Amino acid sequence: MNVVVALFRFGVAALALAGTKEVWLHGQLDDLLYFTNQSGVLLAVVMIWAGFASLLGKRQPPGWFKGGVTLFLAITGLVAYFVLEPEAADAPTLAIGLTSGQIEHQLDPVLAFLDFLLLDQHRRLRWRYSWWWLVYLLAYVTFTTVRGTVWDLDYPYGFIDLGELGWGGLLLNVLVYGIGFTLLGLLIILIDRRMPARALVGNPVPTRT
Q: What is the pLDDT of residue 120?
A: 95
Beta bridge partners of 98: 95
Query: How far apart (Å, rounded) are the C-alpha atoms in residues 179 and 162?
Result: 19
Q: Which has the closest alpha carbon to 182: 144, 132, 143?
A: 132
The mean per-residue pLDDT over the stretch 118-129 comes to: 96
Q: Which has the closest alpha carbon to 145: 182, 176, 175, 174?
A: 174
- Say how many C-beta atoms besides its own lie within 10 A of residue 93's C-beta: 11
Q: Would you say residue 121 has pLDDT above 80? A: yes
Q: How confident is the model at residue 94 (pLDDT cuts 50, 70, 90)?
A: confident
Between CA 163 and CA 173, with CA 168 as vertex, the angle to 5 degrees is: 85
pLDDT (tens digit per residue) in 138-173: 999 999 999 999 998 999 999 999 999 999 999 999
The separation between the first and the last C-alpha atoms of the chain, rounded to the nearest angstrom, is 23
Question: Could you tell me the residue ranges of all domains in the chain?
Answer: 2-86+97-194
The greatest distance separating any two alpha carbons of the chain, rounded to the nearest whole angstrom, comes to 53
